[in-house]
């Protein structure tokens, strides 16, 4: 059967700021994918669940291969936690099967609606970077469908260079068909969570220092509308897996869906400030120590479907940077000052730290330091100018920006962020490209 591609105007990135026509085909299974690949050597890019914010998952000049039809488990050893599955399997479906049996993904992003292929292709990180590093560190093998070499199996030992290019490689080294992943044993599907107030940035650094060794999961939420002595006001959360209670099935708890794009006035300086005050109060009203299901700890945003429509028709940009420990405190303060003065920013501002565990990919984003992530409603030129000011701070601090979240970084920021970019390009599948790569002029 021939794979059918259709022109689509509704295939967007999560930030919804990039619009245009994409040609999308969805193979129902691996044999349909392989049959297509045997005859079509034209430009292509794999697509997962479209949770990347910018244009790394789009390819206007080629064909987008929706990989979500390849979502079968291949094997799972409940004694060792070694899993082999097709790359279109979502973490949500994976966890429904493995979590009740006592196995969790070693690293999870802030949504479970990502595919294994997408998690590898951006070498995603979680709230446990100091303990587990990135997702790619736990990948034992990949099967990769390339336009020039066909279907090949690679491991970190068999082909270390191509493996390092593929982990974090934004789908540009070929279509990942299957992933072998080592899961992590858990004794309970709950976590014991502590929620603490942050009076400012100094509190963050002090709490973080005393928490990183004792707590596997750590993250801070920051009120970006605050300025002056309240700069960095927020909430710090730290958690460990519970050691008792056993593992039970947890539903997706998919809540309401935002039915339409919010009008552009819905998110402004006043509503942002009010939301932030209310959010902080609700968080801190919880008992300081609580036992929570993993879905509530890792995936609170999944409770509102299509929350990305909140930013209106023009969409939004996420800005996620990492700055080194040395000089990081000043850089974070500078960025928060710039954001506070602008009156822009989002209710969802996350500050985390990355530890020393090396990332395996040539284009992996995590490296030791502090990472700050927040959304900006797309207000055109004004937003571009604001983000360019943040670039200056990141540049001066010798930091980096995260391509999974990016829809606008200039090429020099990309090259500064990823000194191995030219080496990476030698491993690119000649047929693979993306709107991100085109934008970089590479």
Among positions 417-436, residues that touch ligand FAD (CB under 6 A) are 434
198 lies in the binding site for ligand FAD (CB under 6 A): no
The contact pattern for ligand FAD, residues 276-295, with x = CB under 6 A and - = no contact, is: --------------------
Closest CA to 302 of 91, 101, 131: 91
Reported as type and span, the H/E element at residue 285 is: helix 269-285
Q: Is the dihedral of CA 421, 424, 426, 432 positive or negative?
A: negative
SS3 103: strand
Minimum CB distance to ligand FAD, residue 126 (Å): 6
| Closest CB 352 distance from ligand FAD, rounded Å | 8
Please tell me whether residue 430 adopts helix, strand or coil conformation.
coil
List 46, 267, 331, 349, residue binding ligand FAD (CB under 6 A): 46
Name the CA radius of gyration of the chain, rounded.
21
C-beta of 143: minimal distance to ligand FAD in Å?
A: 10
SS3 366: coil
Q: How far is the CB of 327 from ligand FAD (least distance, A)?
A: 23
Q: Do 436 and 56 touch, CB atoms closer than 8 A?
A: yes
Asked if 25 touches ligand FAD (CB under 6 A), the answer is no
Query: Closest by alpha carbon to 184, among 294, 290, 289, 110?
Result: 294
Min. distance of Cβ 267 from ligand FAD in angstroms? Answer: 17
- CB nearer to ligand FAD: give 175 or 335: 175
Q: For residue 423, give the nearest of 177, 175, 173, 174 by alpha carbon.
A: 173
Q: Which residue in 11, 33, 37, 67 binds ligand FAD (CB under 6 A)?
A: 67
- Of the candidate spans 170-178, 191-199, 271-279, 387-395, the one that interacts with ligand FAD by CB under 6 A turns out to be 170-178
239 CA to centre of own chain? 20
Of 22, 27, 55, 56, which lies in the binding site for ligand FAD, with binding defined by CB under 6 A?
56
Give the nearest distance from C-beta 69 to ligand FAD in angstroms: 11
**Residues 313-372 close enough to bind ligand FAD by CB under 6 A:** none
Nearest Cα neighbor of 118 from 45, 28, 18, 219 is 45
Q: Cα separation of 232 and 354, whole Å? A: 18
Among 16, 26, 44, 47, binds ligand FAD (CB under 6 A): 47
* Closer by beta carbon to ligand FAD, 192 or else 350: 350
Q: Assign 3-class secondary structure to 160-204.
A: HHHHHHHCCCCCCCCEEEEEEEECEECCECEEEEEEEEECCHHHH
Residue choice 12, 45, 349, 374 for contact with ligand FAD (CB under 6 A): 45
CB of 229 to ligand FAD, least distance (A): 30
Do 223 and 276 form a contact (C-beta atoms < 8 A)? yes
Q: Look up residue 250 and give its two tokens.
A: 């947890």
Among the residue ranges 110-118, 189-197, 282-290, 385-393, the one whose residues contact ligand FAD (CB under 6 A)? 110-118
- Alpha-carbon distance of 104 to 236, in angstroms, equals 24
**Of positions 11, 12, 14, 30, contacts ligand FAD by CB under 6 A:** 14
Closest of 313, 265, 263, 254 to residue 12, by C-alpha: 313
- What is the distance between the alpha carbons of residues 154 and 144, in angstroms, rounded to a whole number? 7
Residue 33 CA to residue 31 CA, distance in Å, equals 5
Q: Examine residue 95 and tell whether it contacts ligand FAD (CB under 6 A).
A: no
Work out how close the CB of 228 gets to ligand FAD at its nearest, in angstroms, rounded to a whole number. Answer: 29
Query: Is 15 among the residues that bind ligand FAD (CB under 6 A)?
Result: no
Closer of 109 and 200 to ligand FAD (Cβ): 109
* Positions in 383-402 near ligand FAD (CB under 6 A): none
Binding part of the chain for ligand FAD, among 22-30, 40-48, 71-79, 267-275 by CB under 6 A, reads 40-48
Contacts of 422 (CB under 8 A, 6+ apart): none
Site of interaction with ligand FAD (CB under 6 A): 14, 45-52, 56-57, 67, 87, 109-111, 114-115, 117-119, 121-122, 124-126, 170-171, 175-176, 301, 404, 434
């Amino acid at each position: 059967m021939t794979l059918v591609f259709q022109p689509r105007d509704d295939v967007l990135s999560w930030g919804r700021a990039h619009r245009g026509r994409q040609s999308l085909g969805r193979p129902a299974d691996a044999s349909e994918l392989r049959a297509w690949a045997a005859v079509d050597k034209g430009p292509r890019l794999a697509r997962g669940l479209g949770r990347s914010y910018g244009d790394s998952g789009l390819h206007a000049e080629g064909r987008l291969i929706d990989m979500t039809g390849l979502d079968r488990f291949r094997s799972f050893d409940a004694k060792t936690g070694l899993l082999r599955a097709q790359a279109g399997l979502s973490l949500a479906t994976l966890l429904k099967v493995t979590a009740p049996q006592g196995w969790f993904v070693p690293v999870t992003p802030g949504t479970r609606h990502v595919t294994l292929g997408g998690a590898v292709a951006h070498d995603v990180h979680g709230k446990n970077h100091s303990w587990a590093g990135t997702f790619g560190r736990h990948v034992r093998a990949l099967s990769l469908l390339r336009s020039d070499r066909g279907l090949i199996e690679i491991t970190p030992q068999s082909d270390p260079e191509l493996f390092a290019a593929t982990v974090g490689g934004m789908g540009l080294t070929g279509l990942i068909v299957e992933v072998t992943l080592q899961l992590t044993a858990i004794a309970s599907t709950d976590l014991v969570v502590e929620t603490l107030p942050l009076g400012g940035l100094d509190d963050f650094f002090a709490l973080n220092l005393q928490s990183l060794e004792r707590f596997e999961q750590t993250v801070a939420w920051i009120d970006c509308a605050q300025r002056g002595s309240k700069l960095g006001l927020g909430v710090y959360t730290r958690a460990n897996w519970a050691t008792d209670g056993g593992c039970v099935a947890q539903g997706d708890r998919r809540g309401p869906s935002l039915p339409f794009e919010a009008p552009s006035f819905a998110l402004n300086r006043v509503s942002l400030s009010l939301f932030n005050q209310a959010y902080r109060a609700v968080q801190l009203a919880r008992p300081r120590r609580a036992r929570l299901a993993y879905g509530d700890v890792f995936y609170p945003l999944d409770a509102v479907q299509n929350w990305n429509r909140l930013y209106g028709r023009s969409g939004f940009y996420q800005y996620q940077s990492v700055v080194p420990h040395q000089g990081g405190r000043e850089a974070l303060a500078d960025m928060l000052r710039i954001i506070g003065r602008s009156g822009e920013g989002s209710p969802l501002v996350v500050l985390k730290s990355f530890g020393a565990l090396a990332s395996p990919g040539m284009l992996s984003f995590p490296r030791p330091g502090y990472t700050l992530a927040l959304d900006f409603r797309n207000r055109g030129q004004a937003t571009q100018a604001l983000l360019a000011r943040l670039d200056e701070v990141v540049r001066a601090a010798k930091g980096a920006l995260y391509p999974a979240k990016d829809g606008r970084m200039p090429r020099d920021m990309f090259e500064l962020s990823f000194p191995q970019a030219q080496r990476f390009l030698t491993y690119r599948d000649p047929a693979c490209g993306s709107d991100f790569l085109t934008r970089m002029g590479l």
